[in-house]
Amino acid sequence: MADSIDYYREHAEQFYRDTIGADMQALYAPFLAAIPPGGRVLDAGCGSGRDSLAFLRLGYSVQAFDAAPEMAGLAARLLAQPVPVLRFDELAWKTEFDGVWACASLLHQPWADLPCTLSQLAITLKPGGVLYASFKHGSGERRYRNRHFTDLDQHRLHQLLAQVPGLHLQHSWVTVDCRPDRPNQEWLNALLTA
């Protein structure tokens, strides 16, 4: 995970520019349908802060965090609110959030660490809360541009969730990357309930 954090520290401005304009509305809809109006959302590994801003504009209460200080700083500026620098293993919230949004952030966790990480995120949820997670579609671990990636397909998702008794699969689906320069990149999306 340290190498992936270092990558985002070094490339924060470029990553911000590359992702801030991505249209994520189609992914927000199933997640927000399970969140009460004005509910609390934890943006876990918020990156640019793009999704947090969208949720705030829709009237939700949002707590964002990121492991890379430079990314957290950019997100804090965008959101005009503090964005703590935290890793998944440093979370201390318990039963505080109606939803956790983990968009393209858990994919940097090694496969062996994912059950514990998901369990930690589940603890932050109120009973009946919902967690959205996305991974590049595939079935292995790899390194790309100094970052670690754990790719998931539906089979691997089921294998993972069998190790996390506090979360249950509500729905999973595959989408194509919404960035115009990545038309062949597929993503596995999962909506989980506590």
Instruction: Give pLDDT tens digits for 6-51.
Output: 776 677 778 778 887 888 999 999 999 999 999 999 999 999 999 9
Neighbours of 80 (CB within 10 A): 9
Q: What is the mean pLDDT of the chain?
A: 92
Q: Using DSSP, state whether 25 is helix, strand or coil.
A: helix
Domain boundaries, the chain: 2-18+38-193
2-18+38-193 — its CATH code? Answer: 3.40.50.150
What's residue 14's pLDDT?
81
Residue 38: partners with Cβ closer than 8 Å, 6 or more residues away: 59, 60, 61
pLDDT band at 2 (very low <50, low <70, confident <90, very high): low
User: What's the whole-number mean pLDDT along residues 61-80?
Assistant: 96
Please give the torsion angle defined by the CA atoms of residues 187, 64, 49 and 184, in that order, rounded to the nearest 10 degrees: -10
Cα 107 from Cα 73, distance rounded (Å): 22
Between 6 and 115, the higher pLDDT residue: 115
Percent of the chain topping pLDDT 90? 79
pLDDT at 77 over 60: yes
What SS3 state is found at 167?
coil
Q: Tell me the average pLDDT across 125-151.
A: 94
d(CA 140, CA 64): 28
